[in-house]
Every structure is written in structure tokens, then in C-alpha cells.
Structure 1
């Protein structure tokens, strides 16, 4: 992400927090900024390590509580890719997509999305308000085929 995209995304997250009655405190801003800087694929402990490189005053529980809050607001999602620890990903526009290699465990992100129609059909069929989606396709990458 370029600097302008990071600032835009930070503002979107700040507005989402404000709309739900939460503030973007100094600690939360550092956590969100670290998430944005690393692209959002990081564990809570990894995020804490990144933050502690510049500020050791942000506590472990603050990181965990902030990640939980951002998850509840639908801004991030925890994913479990066989590592045991949740990796937190940013949901850009309410969706996120992965190709995961069953051979080498490589993860490839892609932005193309044609699932809005599927989401709409599921919403109508099950009387369900779809807010976003996370899609993972499993297979073998070119090196593992």
C-alpha cells in the first residue's frame, strides 16, 4: 500500500470506530498503523513485536483487546492456516481472498472478486445480511504441481 492508501485506510478505520462509539486512542492508532504497515497478515504476538520496536508502552492485552474490537467491527478477521495462532487480515471493502498451496503452504492474495452475486443469492435464500466474506482456495502452486 502506498502512503496515501495507508492514510485513507487509517481514516476509514477511525471513522468506523467513531461510528460505533469508540475512540482511536494513541495505543489503538499504533496497533492499527502496525497492522496497515505489515499488510495485515500477522499474529497478535508478531504485531506486539513490531509495535515494541518503536514503543514498549503498548501492552499485550491492549493489542489483544484492540484486535478483538476490530474483528467485532468487521475491519479485520482472524484466519487459521494450520499454524495454531490466528493471523489477522485486513478486510478491504468487506472481503479478502487467498490461494493456499497444499504442498508448500504458500499463501497468495488476489483482489479479483465476482462473489457479490453469490452473496446476494445466499442472503435472499437464507434471509441473511451478508456483511463481507473471506475466501480461501486450496490447491497446488506452480512449483508444487
Structure 2
């Protein structure tokens, strides 16, 4: 996956520096839902010379290219998710901020219908459904 991200950067004319490679590898290995500070800490364990601003700039770049998205889980800090196949789906508990990922795309053909009607080219989507998880509902 980090090779795919590297290719996506290179294809769009961005250099894949050693620092970016470490950041990409760390994102892929540790999965989604890392905050910028958590990612910085993990990156610095691998390469102490990579600064916080380098991590933030790389996150901004990846978000701008649609390869990564910020998700706000009610904790104040953005958690970043990889947009591997153009879409991502979450259930977010409003009581405990727990995030449950699910794969099935409940939108069906809605994106294609809306895009066709409005002349819009959809490149991906992020679906967040808010409610109360089973654990919080039981307490």
C-alpha cells in the first residue's frame, strides 16, 4: 500500500523523499485513525530527524490529493484515514467517540445517480453515521 501511495505522489509530480517514505510506511503499518501527534511520535521512533512540521505538511499534501482524510471523532483532534479504494465508512458513537468501520457501501447507486443528474465526477466518499454504540446503549 505504501508503494501505491508513493506512486500516486510521483504520478502527480511530487517527490517521494526519505521522510515522506517513512511517513507513508508508518501510516500503512499502523492503520487509520491516527492523530497527527500520534503519527509524529511513531515516525520519530523510526527516524528521529523527521520534524513535526514535516509530518503536518505531508498530511496536508495527502489530504489535498484525496489519499487521506481527516475524521473528527469528538476528541478535538483530527484522526486521519487512508482512502484506499475511494471510500470509507464509519459508525461513530456520540457517547464514547468509538469508531466502528464497516465495508459494505450502503449508498448503492446514489452517488452515480446524483453525479449524473448534476454533472459531477465523484472521486470518492466518506460516510459517517452518528449514534450510540451497543456498549454505551447498554449502560
Separation in 1, partners of 2:44, 2:3: 23
Unmatched tracts of structure 2, length 5 or more:
none
Tell me which residue corresponds to 2:45.
53
Structure 1 gap segments, 5+ residues each: 1-8
Deviations 1:43-84 (A, max 9, x none): 111110111112110011111111111111111001112122
Match of 2:96 among 100, 104, 107: 104
Aligned to 2:60: 68
RMSD between aligned residues: 1.3
Which of the residues 106, 112, 119 maps onto 2:111?
119
Asked if the contact 2:22–2:46 (Cα under 8 Å) also holds between the matched residues in 1, the reply is no
Tell me the equivalent position of 2:87. Answer: 95
| Aligned-partner SS, 2:109 | helix
Match of 1:142 among 130, 134, 137: 134
User: Aligned-pair distance for 1:12?
Assistant: 1.1
Question: What is the number of residues matched between the two proteins?
Answer: 137
